[in-house]
């Protein structure tokens, strides 16, 4: 099949985009050269068969659940895919965030621009779950292109917090968190670029771990920006987080995030071995700048996390308050990377970007390229805001500020690592407030954006630095969960899990949410 050819007018418009002009004779000349050269080569490439990984486990496409079967709005598609007959996840059920490919099962990533797309192959994490004996029950709703810390931006409608249906569940792994919290699945896979595993975990009273950057392969998931992309486990217990991490972790040979200078070392033989229930001698650094954040922090949240640290001290941990002046200054670094990177990779790069070696999801590229052109007006306010900022800076400064932010990441990382040389973990609230109310359907753009982006101040820094970080339920405030965030050295998920497990066993395990009436 021949690829589409440009008309002379198409060539003229392309030239104008790159700030040069073609007269009629030049249009004809370049068109003829392209016809006998590049486009003929593309015709040959079109006829070639690129390898697509085989799908090992039978499945159907599933379907959208009824409202009665989806009381929290957390399922996008329900299906059932049985994995291997035995393995570490045998008997366990999982939900997969809907920015992660499951072959033959619809994928939307929260936006009508991708609706109707059927992935050709499983993401690496899906392959690993099924090979380990897990059963996938469907795709969980995520926020519009994953760009919201609240649970109100998906084109399928809001995802509701099981502790209070008027409140946000957090984002962007909103559906994954709610399905775990409500007991509809045992575990879930989430994604995290600014806190999107930890924030919904914090607001729904579950355990959510963002691993060290590069520890879990991202192959087959739709990115926001490769240097901040993470996938991670979510579950109702620390033990299940450790179990699922052990299945997901390790290089797959396709993800370029796993070969960089700041990527993770190989995973431990067994993360569950770290769950000793003992924190004696563990050195905790309470980061002063993570508390009392002007205009955001709620006193009961700060108090709950400080009380949790006191309880860990009673269990034998050594606690010290520290100051990391860089912590409140990281947001401009993250914002430049996330906004300019999103514009380049997710939008103009059609959900994949280019310039890296690995396994591309070609169908997603083509489907999203058409969809975003047709449905760009329906992008959520949080996506429009971020895209406008990122593309303006790229157009005006050519990526210089993105580059400056990337060059500063080493300095930021060193500021945290300096404290982590003398301490095992950093501690602060996952989010500065309890779950906020879901904006009304007619809410202003200002409110929609505020409720989507205001809460990421403690979580986003560790997406750019790549440190592992986990939200641990530590208290209830006014009937809503509070999360404590534990941050470890690169590659040291084991210590985070050790502390979380001891706290869960001996201090606090969250009560189940009330039944839906």
Active site residues: 97, 172, 196
Six-digit token pair at 494? 């084991």
**CB of 349 within 8 A of CB of 478?**
no
**CB of 487 within 8 A of CB of 504?**
no
**CB of 176 within 8 A of CB of 85?**
no
Whether the bond between 514 and the residue before it is cis, its omega within 30 degrees of 0, is no
Longest CA span, the chain: 82
The neighbour count for residue 491, using CB atoms within 10 Å, is: 19
Determine if residue 385 is left, alpha or beta; phi over 0 gives left, psi from -120 to 50 gives alpha, anything else beta. Answer: alpha
Distance of CA 219 to the CA centre of its chain: 13
d(CA 408, CA 400): 12
| Helix orientation angle between 445-453 and 381-397, rounded to the nearest 10 degrees | 80
Looking up tokens 């200002």, which residue turns up?
Answer: 446
Q: How many residues does the chain have?
A: 517
Q: What strands lie across the sheet with 187-191, from one edge to the other?
A: 75-82, 135-140, 93-97, 187-191, 231-235, 207-210, 469-477, 480-487, 425-429, 283-287, 318-322
Looking up tokens 């070609």, which residue turns up?
Answer: 362
Six-digit token pair at 439? 């904006």
Looking up tokens 């440009």, which residue turns up?
Answer: 6
**CB of 461 within 8 A of CB of 334?**
yes
**CB of 248 within 8 A of CB of 220?**
no
d(CA 257, CA 216): 9
d(CA 320, CA 309): 10
Looking up tokens 């004779």, which residue turns up?
Answer: 25
């Amino acid at each position: 099949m021949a690829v589409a050819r440009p008309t002379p007018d198409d060539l003229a418009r392309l030239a104008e985009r790159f700030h040069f002009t073609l007269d009629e004779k030049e249009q004809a000349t370049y068109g003829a050269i392209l016809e006998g050269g590049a486009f003929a080569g593309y015709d040959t490439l079109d006829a070639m068969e690129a390898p697509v990984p085989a799908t090992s486990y039978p499945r159907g496409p599933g379907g959208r659940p009824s409202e009665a079967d989806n009381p929290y709005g957390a399922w996008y598609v329900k299906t059932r895919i049985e994995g291997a007959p035995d393995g570490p996840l045998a008997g366990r059920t999982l939900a997969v965030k809907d920015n992660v490919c499951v072959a033959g099962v619809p994928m939307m990533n929260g936006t009508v621009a991708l609706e109707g797309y059927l992935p050709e192959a499983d993401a690496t994490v899906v392959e690993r779950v099924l090979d380990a004996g897990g059963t996938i029950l469907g795709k969980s709703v995520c926020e519009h292109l994953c760009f919201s810390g609240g649970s109100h931006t998906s084109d399928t409608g809001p995802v509701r917090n099981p502790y209070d249906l008027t409140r946000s569940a957090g984002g962007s792994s909103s559906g994954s968190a709610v399905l775990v919290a409500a007991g509809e699945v045992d575990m879930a896979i989430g994604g995290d670029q600014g806190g999107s595993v930890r924030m919904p975990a914090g607001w729904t009273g579950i355990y959510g771990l963002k691993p060290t950057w590069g520890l879990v392969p991202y192959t087959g998931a739709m990115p926001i920006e490769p240097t901040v992309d993470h996938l991670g486990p979510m579950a109702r217990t620390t033990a299940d987080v450790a179990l699922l991490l052990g299945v997901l972790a390790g290089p797959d040979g396709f993800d370029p995030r796993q070969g960089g200078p700041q990527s993770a070392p190989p995973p431990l033989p067994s993360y569950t071995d770290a769950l000793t229930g003992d924190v004696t001698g563990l050195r905790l650094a309470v980061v002063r700048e993570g508390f009392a954040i002007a205009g955001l922090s709620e006193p009961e949240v700060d108090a709950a996390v400080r009380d949790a640290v006191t309880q860990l001290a009673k269990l034998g941990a050594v606690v010290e308050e520290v100051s990391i002046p860089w912590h409140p200054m990281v947001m401009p670094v993250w914002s430049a990377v996330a906004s300019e990177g999103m514009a380049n990779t997710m939008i103009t790069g059609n959900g994949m970007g280019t310039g890296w070696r690995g396994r591309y999801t070609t169908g997603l590229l083509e489907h999203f390229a058409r969809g975003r052109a047709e449905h760009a007006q329906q992008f959520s306010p949080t996506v429009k805001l971020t895209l406008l900022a990122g593309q303006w800076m790229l157009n005006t400064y050519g990526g210089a500020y993105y580059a400056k932010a990337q060059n500063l990441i080493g300095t930021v990382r060193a500021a945290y690592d300096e404290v982590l040389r003398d301490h095992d973990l950093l501690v602060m609230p996952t989010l500065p407030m309890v779950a906020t109310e879901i904006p009304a359907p007619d809410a202003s753009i200002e409110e929609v954006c505020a409720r989507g982006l205001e809460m990421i101040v403690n979580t986003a820094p560790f997406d750019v630095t790549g440190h592992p970080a986990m939200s641990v339920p530590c208290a209830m405030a006014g009937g809503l969960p509070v999360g404590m965030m534990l941050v470890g050295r690169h590659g040291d998920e084991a210590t985070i899990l050790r502390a979380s497990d001891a706290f869960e066993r001996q201090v606090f395990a969250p009560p189940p949410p009330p039944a839906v009436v």
